[in-house]
Structure 1
Amino acid sequence: MRRSILVFTVTCGTLVAPMSVSAQWLPARRLVADTIVLRDSVATFGPTAPVSKPVSAASAMGAKARARIDSVVAMARAQLDKRYRFGGETPKGFDCSGLVRYVMAALDVSLPRTAREQARIGEAIPMDTAQLRPGDLLLFGRKGRVTHIGIYVGGGRMVHASTKAHRVVERPLLRKPAPGIVPWIGARRLLATTDSLTVSPRRDSLPNGG
């Protein structure tokens, strides 16, 4: 009497792919050594490819770097509603670059005084909110000339000293063009995302060759 066994072959895909299951009748003598026949199922063992888990920006960041970035956001928000004052760089009054300089000084990061000079410090970041991190500097201007600067605080929002509101405010980064609104033209990253560094001091050219 010829004996056959129903063999189920289970193929596992990636973590997000569903399993595919196929079945076929095979003579018992054709079963390979790495196939274990159970009463209700068949388990096949073989080499499996390592699964790479996605690493979020937060988990990839060192603890000290995360603390520095959190400090920048907290310091920037602590200045909300402080009045705008041209040339100001203290809580008695800020202009845009004075606010950025004051906040970064709390982390022992020394910056030049003007927005145009500050825009040359650090690493250029693509103008993509998905790639921004809290603590990045946001540059505003026209034709490559930086005339305004603010601090990204996450969630698509920024803190800056507003001449229009006459105070330090938090608002969405992306807004519809309107009279009096200077367009966003670039971003810079000063704070490193590893514990081995405290600041990226490199000076680059201004966006769009300015």
Structure 2
Amino acid sequence: MAIAAVSGFALVCGVWLLQHNTASAPPPQPSAAQAADGGGAPAREAGAPALPPSPPTRITIPALKVDVPLTGLGLNPDGSLEAPPSERRDLAGWYESGTTPGDRGTAVVAGHVDNAEGPSVFYALGALQKGMPIEIRRTDGQTAVFTIDAVEVYDSRAFPDDKVYGAAKRPELRVITCGGGYSKKTGYLGNVVVFAHLTGVR
């Protein structure tokens, strides 16, 4: 099932920067070097065989020292992706009506960049680089290991739904948070998206 643009998700971010007037020090944004080659979809290198469906329980991103539980997310009335509870800085969410991480297709994980108290779970997501691992623990006891293919940032007014959420023939993962510049009036102007594919299982 396709998900609509995440503009609704972006609008709930930026509370901390707005309240504390710290827009001069926003979270890191991905460099052009981390984008997909040629600006298109990330390269389709071979990966590990798909796993059977199994809901995820935890995401670990070693480079960011992130190791947090996952909660299920649905869609808002306008079709945009729900956000995890903003008061939980130690929680991310996954789109539970879509692909489970490790299964064939595109799995989606989202989390806040900050909340009213300060930086949140995916504050440094834009600092990730190609080749870095992301691990998803699943209820079946297996850990799906993904390798990052690209890290990109998009304006919420031109979010590429098909590129981010479109169907995939291999097991793929998208990790999303707010980014793309910052306005004191509205908060973040877009989203950072990490593209990854399954390369191993533990």
Q: TM-score with structure 1 length normalisation?
A: 0.25
Structure with more strand by fraction: 2
- Look at both structures and tell me which one has the larger radius of gyration over its CA atoms: 1
